[in-house]
A and B are shown apart, each in its own frame.
Chain A
Amino acid sequence: MSAPQIHIEALPRSVQLVLLLGLLALAAFPFVGSDFYMSMVNRMMILAIFAMSLDLLQGVTGLVSLGHAAYFGIAGYALAFITPANEPISLYASLPMAVGASALAALIIGFLVVRTHGIYFIMVTMAFAQMVFYLFFDNKALGGSDGLFLNFRPDAVLIDLENKRVFYFFTLGCLVAVYFFLRRVLWSPFGRSLAGIRVNEHRMRALGFGTFRHKLAAFTLAGALAGLAGFLWAAQTGFVNPELMGFHLSAHAIMMVILGGMGNFAGAIIGAFSFEYLLHLFKDLPAIGNFNTGKHWQMWMGLFIVALVIFAPKGILGLLTRAFAKKEASDD
């Protein structure tokens, strides 16, 4: 096994500028883009929140979870269950409930799982997520494999979330809030100890830190934030099914975090957008002669992932900082 990675934590000015530009572009998008693409970008933002929550766990604390989607799905289902068939539920009641459900699940599962290490942790998180998946998949009472529909978005009283544009800005607001919150956490004593655990857990323990408690807290917080993303997803799409808790979504989340660059949350956002955009791109590739390129999108995606791991294990931010560092060096 290799040494735990030293991640980019302090974002260079250039990256901060790019983020700001991105924020402006996102804010302007609803006024220039079509309905279809606005929905797509909205989904990307929700996945960015999901990716950031995983980054807290994986990038900062070093706990690789192959089952993070479980907490994404649980909140979505919670919203689906409490939304009545004929009228909307209050946002102010449903959001805390859904996020709370995810946080509780993360706390319980985390308590059982955080005691394991390395490859066991990876497999055990996957297994618990599968357990949750089957719980919903096998039981018609919980919707079964067909899933559940939501007939209304939550009622926010002051703003109308049924309006696509309003919902878009609500999501954007959540995205920005979560980002700044997590950046705060990263530099707080709690966040510093999490980073310390990633780099060398034994040393942290020797220094007197209760690493179990810290890891469990990180796991729960990550689960809660994943729940926020899941809540938004269910509200936007109006449909939940067990795939929201599935292995593929968990693996996609890991890829988003790695693609962008781990440990600083900006990478998670960049990774989420890039990954989703790539998927969209691959699926819509025009045919080359007789070869139906778009149909075989899984191949292009797979090759891309393999290439990413081989050539750019630190993700896009890693590549960018390397490029800027080289430029700096050559400028001198």
Chain B
Amino acid sequence: MHTNPNRRHVLAQGAALMGATASGLLLPQHVLAQSGKIRVGFMLPYTGTFAQLGVAIENGVRMAINEQGGKLGGREIEWFKVDDESEPSKAIENANKLVQRDKVDVLIGTVHSGVQMGIHRVARESGVLSLIPNAGVHMATRAQCAPNVFRASFTNSQPTMALGEAMVKRGHKKAVWITWKYAAGDEAYEGFKESYTKAGGTIVKELGLPFPNVEFQALLTEIAALKPDAVACFFAGGGAAKFMKDYAAAGLKDKIPLYGSGFLTEGTIEAAGPAAEGVLSTLHYGDGIDTKRNNEFRLNYAKTFKMQPDVYAVQGYDTGLLLIQGANAVKGDLSKKADLYKAMEGATIDSPRGKWTMSKAHNPVQDIYLRQVVGKENKVIGVAAKALADSGAGCRL
């Protein structure tokens, strides 16, 4: 068959190929020099439906750090990024890219609660400092809380915990709840159910559709048949815009008032158009918060990034502020974990949303605002709940 030179040739080529491949895999993507820089890793959605949010969060973090000189505790920063594609099945793998491969000191992420569960696993196993700029999944600051995990955003039930009373106060005592059937939707419902029934309201029916399905027609018809005083919901992103539009097109808007967890109207007002007008929601932020801090923040953000900030940008910004406070307290030496955590636990964040502090379970204790869509923005019409803390049930911190 083949003569000897061929075999040797193949062996040599094969070995070369193997060697090249192996070393290609072995050689770290980013040279791990002893640079003395703090490694900060972003694990955010840079593609897919939540891409806008990922960008806003990163913008916020960077802005906070740049405002304070671009360093953390006096040390320079090396940035790393991984696109989590909002894909829970790749979450652990992606988180490990930052933690095991790039050896980051801080992991900032993410948006999607399902992906967060994966990050959380890796954070607990590896002990890396994990800062959550959005995902509201309860367990991260409840049953599975950890000393190295801090959240700068909210828990899924915080906004809706403030919604119940607001609705009953305005005379809407019989409501239908509708959302997507996944962790975020279920947890939002938890907060609504508790606050609404406590305030004296009755939930006529709980409707749900699989995430991220947006064919609402069938369920809207059911809502009309049930004739509640109001409808409360949790939707976010494109689906939220569509829901508001379908709600209006079905003629329900003027007959049955629509309330929602604030994400209903975050970043979706342009897409929903006039259908969003007048929709009430509760959230820990509102574009129209008329304080010096917020106005300054909004101006600077718009100047730097040529777009308007939203709650995601604010959360990113606050994450940056939190990290800065921690890093300053340990003068940039993030290995001093006990001091680092203590500083972050005791931090007061002077945020555009208002000042907030950390709960024992490492979640923000914050004011929740009642907002109404007027024109193109969420106008803050009141405070629905002051200094609201998540229960932190099951956390042993």
Contacts and interface: CB of A to CB of B under 8 A. Distances in A.
Q: Quick check: do A and B touch in the complex, using CB within 8 A?
A: yes
Question: Could you tell me the dominant secondary structure of chain A's interface residues?
Answer: helix
A145 B114 contact: yes
Given A21-B18, A237-B93, A284-B29, A35 B100 contact: yes
Nearest to A284: B29
Interface in B90-120: 91-93, 96-97, 100-101, 113-114, 117-118
A41 B93 CA distance: 12
Contacts of A43: 93
B7 A14 contact: yes
Between B21, B89, B100, the greatest number of chain A beta carbons within 10 A of the residue's beta carbon is seen for B89
A295 B46 contact: yes
Interface in A84-119: none
Question: Could you tell me the dominant secondary structure of chain B's interface residues?
Answer: helix
Interface in A223-251: 237-239, 241, 243-244
Interface stretch (A136-144, A175-183, A211-219): A136-144
Interface string B7-34: 1001100110110011001101100000
B101 A36 contact: yes
Contact of B22 (A29, A144, A147, A243): A29
Contacts of A144: 181-182
Given A17-B14, A238-B121, A295-B46, A243 B25 contact: no
Interface in A12-40: 12-14, 17-18, 21-22, 25, 29, 32-37, 39-40
Contact of A137 (B11, B121, B210): B210
Interface in B139-198: 181-183, 186
Interface string A44-71: 0000000000000000000000000000
A201 B44 CA distance: 50
B39 to A, nearest CB: 15
A171 to B, nearest CB: 15
A13 B7 contact: yes
Interface residues of B, number: 41
Contacts of A17: 7, 10-11, 14
B76 interface: no
Interface residues of A, number: 44
Contacts of A160: none
A326 interface: no
A32 B47 contact: no
A34 B6 contact: no
A118 B356 CA distance: 63
Given A13-B2, A22-B18, A145 B25 contact: no
Given A14-B7, A41-B25, 16 more contacts: A12-B2, A14-B6, A25-B21, A35-B100, A36-B96, A36-B97, A43-B93, A140-B181, A145-B181, A149-B117, A241-B88, A241-B89, A243-B87, A277-B21, A283-B83, A327-B6
18 contacts: A13-B2, A21-B11, A25-B21, A37-B25, A37-B26, A39-B96, A40-B93, A140-B181, A145-B114, A145-B182, A147-B88, A237-B92, A239-B118, A243-B88, A277-B21, A294-B83, A295-B46, A298-B47
Nearest 5 pairs between A and B by C-beta?
A: A36-B100, A14-B10, A36-B101, A243-B89, A18-B14
Interface of B: 1-3, 6-7, 10-11, 14-15, 17-18, 21-22, 25-26, 28-29, 46-47, 83, 87-89, 91-93, 96-97, 100-101, 113-114, 117-118, 121, 181-183, 186, 210-211
